[in-house]
Amino acid sequence: MADITSLILDDHDWFRRQFARMDDITDAGELAKVWQPLADLLDVHARAEEEIFYPHLLRRGDDAKEETLDAIGDHNDIRDGVHEAALHPVGSTAWLDAVRKARMANSEHMAEEEDEGLADFRRNADPGLREELGRKFTEFKRRHEGARDLDVSDIDPEGYVEAELGTGPGDGSLGIGSLKERD
């Protein structure tokens, strides 16, 4: 089983290839055939990272809080483009603009994640954990294929980090994090 960082990179490669395929297509029906699976996996991938990868990065990474805040914000931008595209006829100017918005946000996110979050996690998480998370990531994607039974709404980045670290208001902490590792 591949570790989670390899699986995330595999998805990134697939995203790039699918967006590139769309560059050569002008027929709306053919665009839809490429776009819908791409749009679905963009949503599933983001949520899988939020549920499986980023909680562990937050507990182990060197600069994980900033990396996570940025990543969740990027996921929101990607989701916004995907969901905006769904409001317009495939191939229309408004649809193309929304797809471009999703593509640009995704390209920026993937570059940052590959250079920062994934590299940070590989340095700080043992291979056994990475493989365990890889199994969970694969199962999550299988269970939610086609964005089935998936909440695809935006997430507040600050609230997400506070909830994962247990540093939110009223949690009784001093807001300095845990002295022991959470799993």
Q: What is the pLDDT of residues 168-178, one digit of tens each?
A: 654 444 444 44
80 and 176 Cβ atoms separated by less than 8 Å: no
* C-alpha atoms less than 13 angstroms from C-alpha of 44 in its C-beta half-sphere: 23
Torsion of CA 123, 124, 128, 133, to 10 degrees: -100
Residue ranges, the chain, pLDDT below 70: 1, 168-183
Residue-level pLDDT at 168: 60
Distance CA 72, CA 52 (A): 13
Residue-level pLDDT at 175: 45
Residue-level pLDDT at 167: 74
Query: 8 vs 3, 26, 81, 106, 142, CA distance in Å?
Result: 9, 29, 20, 13, 14
Residue-level pLDDT at 169: 57
Distance CA 141, CA 163 (A): 23
Burial of 28 (0-12, 13-18, 19+ CB in 10 A): middle
The reported pTM is: 0.89
